[in-house]
Structure 1
Amino acid sequence: MTISDNQVAVSVYQKAKKGNYYCGDSYFHMETDDAFICALADGLGSGELAKDSSQAVMEVIEEFPNQEIEYIIKKCNEVLLGKRGVVLGILRIDLKQQTYSYSSIGNIGIITLAKDGKRNRNIPLSGYLAGYPKRLKVTRGQVESGMIFLLFSDGVTDRRLSVKNTNTHDIHFIIEQYKELYGQFRDDDTTLIAMEYK
């Protein structure tokens, strides 16, 4: 799936673990006049209960797209009390200020690719959200035209997102190439979201 008529273009690849009907990963993205937000959650374990937790988090994020990341994660944590936990990654771009912020808890990866080729891989906080207080680390920066963000679950390994495989500024090509090269190797639920700030 590719959406490209907004300030942020989005392309997504998602498949359940081989043999599973339900994918435990849930994602959500939205662009308002003020902000773009994208989130990816992986429910602990697999199957329907994992999907239930990750979907509950997406519903919270859909409700508060214009809030800061710290507030959104606090609200996500609250809704998980009594449910299975999730690992979570959130990217928010302030379209007015032209800044970005992101946070990742557990094994949700985030990579930024600048137009000049500079590449940064976020080191997520360990653990998961499960309704209990959790310290956060939020990375912030200035967003530039042509900047690409990759958000992915643990079904995608860093090795598969090597410089060689992402050395392009065509997010659709990144997704299609990943699907072609690795789509058949799914030992876990797999979600890869590529976004370009235009």
Structure 2
Amino acid sequence: MTEDVVPDRGIWFRVETGSAASAVRRAAERLGDQLDLGEARTDLAIVAAELTSNLVKHAEDGMLLLRPARHEREAGVELVAIDAGPGMADLTASSQDGHSTTGTLGIGLGAIVRQASWFDGYSRPGRGTVLAVQVWPDRAGGRERPWAGALTRPLTGESVSGDGYAWRIVEGRRQVLVCDGLGHGPLAAAATDAALDAFRRAPAGPPAAVVQHLHRAMSHTRGAALAVAEPDPSAGVLRYAGLGNISAAVIGAAGQRRGLISLPGIAGHQRPPVREYDYPFEAGALLVMHSDGVVDRWQLADFPGLADRSPVVVAASLLRDAGTRRDDACVLVARAWS
């Protein structure tokens, strides 16, 4: 892979100065060329410039993730901006042209919303802001309402993350995977990549069968903790099978949190026990899964209104507030839209 190629896992930027903003813009331009966005590259350039400008001018601890977005045979670009700055009391109002809380013209967020194919965000005064934006060649790209979203972030000092995620729909089954390769760096990433590839190719079956398939496919790697979940809101159930220290919880429509059980073991090593558990999963519920690079003391009740946002915005908010810099981190969120 050359430096000109943006991998599907994306690239993280710390955006604190104008030079960082320039680096984001150049990388966005390369990704637009890589994905053949055509005329939408102009929209992407405006979105990247406005997002980074907002982070430089108004944010604290501003970070931006740039990555491809894929839907069937379509490809677009997604940018996720995260900060711990002053936040906004009304993100919807702040997204309108002419609105400002800082004495400026307030056109930044309005321009982002105008040029984006898809936009979502969450902000609270004193807690910071998360913005997720997608730009597609066809303005209607990514037209389906997203049912899952996730982010990974490598350990500080590492160029790749040993954590990973995937989701798929196979024979009507919606399934998600979170994987934490043992250790850090390239070997951990290789173990996770093997799990992700095996997951995408696995025959249709319940989560326990998929976990067994992944275990066999990873025997040549250093191994990983992983979990597979299958949300089935039509049946009101979530099926789940996990090995090792992957944390998972179902957040009910009323906000109640229920932890899910993962058994001890390492996929790819020896013969770990695999068992599948069923949990209630009604319309409006959320599934949250994460690696041990995210502290498991978060409560969604601390984020009023966040449960109504898109899965990637929920995941990014939890990664910002509960993720650690001393480990690779991954958060995945799936939902049953009501």
Q: TM-score, normalised by structure 1?
A: 0.86
Structure-2 residue corresponding to 1:188: 327
Shift of 1:150: 0.2
Q: Could you tell me how far apart the structure 1 residues matched to 2:316 and 2:302 are?
A: 11
Shift of 1:137: 2.7
Structure-2 residue corresponding to 1:34: 172
Shift of 1:131: 3.9
Distance 1:171 1:158, change over 3 A: farther
Structure-2 residue corresponding to 1:23: 161
Shift of 1:181: 3.2
Count of equivalent residues: 195
* Structure 2 gap ranges (5+): 1-77, 79-131, 133-141
Higher-helix-fraction structure: 2
CA contact (8 A) 1:43 1:53 kept: yes
**Rg larger in structure:** 2
Q: For 1:147-197, what per-residue CA distance to the aligned partner results, in whole angstroms no more than 9, with x for missing partners?
A: 1000101110112x22433554224443343344356x4110011111111
Distance 1:118 1:179, change over 3 A: closer
1:165 equivalent in alignment to 2:290: no
Q: Could you tell me how far apart the structure 2 residues matched to 1:82 and 1:116 are?
A: 44
Match of 1:148 among 256, 278, 286: 286
Shift of 1:110: 0.5
CA contact (8 A) 1:25 1:42 kept: yes
CA contact (8 A) 2:150 2:165 kept: no
CA contact (8 A) 1:149 1:196 kept: yes
Structure-2 residue corresponding to 1:122: 260
1:76 equivalent in alignment to 2:214: yes
DSSP-derived class of the 2:194 partner: helix
Q: For 1:87-106, what per-residue CA distance to the aligned partner results, in whole angstroms no more than 9, with x for missing partners?
A: 00111134764532012211
CA contact (8 A) 1:36 1:93 kept: yes
RMSD value over aligned CA atoms?
A: 2.4
* Structure 1 gap ranges (5+): none
DSSP-derived class of the 1:169 partner: helix
Structure-2 residue corresponding to 1:177: 317
DSSP-derived class of the 2:321 partner: helix
Q: Which amino acid aligns with 2:291?
A: S
Q: TM-score, normalised by structure 2?
A: 0.52
Q: Could you tell me how far apart the structure 2 residues matched to 1:132 and 1:113 are?
A: 33
CA contact (8 A) 1:100 1:140 kept: yes
DSSP-derived class of the 2:302 partner: helix
CA contact (8 A) 2:151 2:331 kept: yes
Q: Could you tell me how far apart the structure 1 residues matched to 2:207 and 2:164 are?
A: 18
1:47 equivalent in alignment to 2:193: no
DSSP-derived class of the 2:198 partner: helix
Q: Which amino acid aligns with 1:187?
A: R
Higher relative contact order structure (alpha carbons within 8 Å, sequence separation ≥ 6): 1
Shift of 1:33: 5.5
Q: Could you tell me how far apart the structure 2 residues matched to 1:103 and 1:59 are?
A: 18
Q: Which amino acid aligns with 1:155?
A: G
Shift of 1:61: 1.2
